[in-house]
Amino acid sequence: MTGLSLANLSVADAGPLELIDAAAAAGFAGVNMWLVPPRSAAHLPFGAGLTTNIIGDARLIREVKLRVASTGVRVFMASCTWLDPRFDAAEIPRVFDTFAEIGARRLSIVGWEPDRSRAVDRFGAICARAAEYGIRATLEFMLYSHVRSLGEALELLDTVNAPNLDLLIDALHLARSGGTPADLLAVDPKRLAVVQLCDAPAASPGPNGLAEESRTNRLHPGDGELPLRELLAALPSDVAIEIEVPCKAEAALSVEQRVRNCYDRAQAFLAMVRA
């Protein structure tokens, strides 16, 4: 994707329409949107945006389509909290019908399913149906999920073996899982589709603090100690860049101001890296 995308977690309190409007005002080209309330909703100190369910809601789907058309901000990727024990295969058609309606072409997946064989079977079914709609499935690993590291993510990709399946590399999750940018050099570049940029201190908060750090307390790129320059250098030149910076220090600011900070700070960092 040309231009930056805004990850939904950056302003978790924004509903889908507010997310698009704020992204457009700041200069983002796309958004990563929750289609159902995320698994993490109960753990986040935010409100209305987390309770919105877009799947099958004709009125809201229509409003999203109008916002996309009027602002030019596309739904680059969308999330629906699959691959967990509550997965219902009967929901697959309604989800992808909604994807088609709003123009999303990439599904974000996190491995919340603890049973390995079920995860493989369900992931395969999701990818097969996504392919019928021309949608790619993008797996994100994180240390506190059941796909904990780059190695585990690659193993799952190999096992499922779907042509429309690739990876999202989150700068924070790569570091906290013990991965390094150098590890990415051994990965087929075609699998490295999306990178989520943020920053953080080099020191981990420890197992009990990982989820809270990633969901509420990230830093803008350049404000911490993660090896972001090396990360970008290790990724394909056409990797899609998302900005995911839920920043506790900015919680009192408006959604629009937080999104503008995300865009301006990311652009300044990227300009410095590319200089």
| Tens-digit pLDDT profile for residues 147-157 | 999 999 999 99
Mean pLDDT, rounded, for 208-219:
94
pLDDT at position 275 over 70:
yes
Q: How far is CA 96 from the centre of its chain?
A: 18
pLDDT at position 138 over 70:
yes
Listed residue (59, 44, 50, 46) closest to 15, CA to CA:
50
Domain encompassing residue 211 = 5-274
Tokens representing 108 are 């974000």
Q: What is the pLDDT of residue 121?
A: 92
Q: How confident is the model at residue 51 (pLDDT cuts 50, 70, 90)?
A: low
Report yes or no: 89 and 122 within 8 Å, Cβ to Cβ. yes
pLDDT at position 130 over 60:
yes
Q: What is the pLDDT of residue 36?
A: 82
pLDDT at position 126 over 70:
yes
Tokens representing 202 are 């080099």
Tokens representing 81 are 């909290």
- Output the CA torsion 234→105→120→85 (10° steps): 110
Q: How confident is the model at residue 212 (pLDDT cuts 50, 70, 90)?
A: very high
pLDDT at position 19 over 60:
yes
Q: What is the pLDDT of residue 79?
A: 86
Q: Determine how many CB atoms are found less than 10 A away from the CB of residue 151.
A: 14
- Output the CA torsion 19→228→3→53 (10° steps): -30
Q: How confident is the model at residue 44 (pLDDT cuts 50, 70, 90)?
A: low
Listed residue (149, 163, 171) closest to 191, CA to CA:
163
Q: What is the pLDDT of residue 37?
A: 74
Mean pLDDT, rounded, for 37-45:
59
Residues 164-198 pLDDT 10s = 999 999 999 999 999 999 999 999 999 999 999 99
Q: When comparing pLDDT for 41 and 110, which is higher?
A: 110
Residue in the structure block whose two tokens are 């229509």: 62
Please give the helix or strand (H or E) that residue 197 lies within, else none: strand 192-197
Three-state DSSP at 272 gives helix
pLDDT at position 58 over 60:
yes
- Residue 201 phi/psi, 5-degree rounding, is -65, 155
Listed residue (245, 207, 242, 208) closest to 223, CA to CA:
245
For 34-46, give one letter per residue: b (16+ CB within 10 A) or e: bbbebebeeebeb
Listed residue (59, 40, 60, 63) closest to 50, CA to CA:
40
Mean pLDDT of the chain: 92
Which amino acid belongs to residue 177? S
Q: What is the pLDDT of residue 43?
A: 52
The CATH number that applies at residue 45 is: 3.20.20.150
Q: How confident is the model at residue 53 (pLDDT cuts 50, 70, 90)?
A: confident
Q: What is the pLDDT of residue 146?
A: 93
pLDDT at position 267 over 60:
yes
Total tally of structural domains belonging to the chain: 1
Q: For the chain, give the percent of residues with pLDDT over 70.
A: 93
Report yes or no: 98 and 54 within 8 Å, Cβ to Cβ. yes
CA count, 13 A, side-chain hemisphere, 161:
1
Q: Determine how many CB atoms are found less than 10 A away from the CB of residue 4.
A: 22
Report yes or no: 53 and 35 within 8 Å, Cβ to Cβ. yes
| List of residues 6+ apart from 9 with CB closer than 8 A | 215, 244, 246
Mean pLDDT, rounded, for 81-107:
85
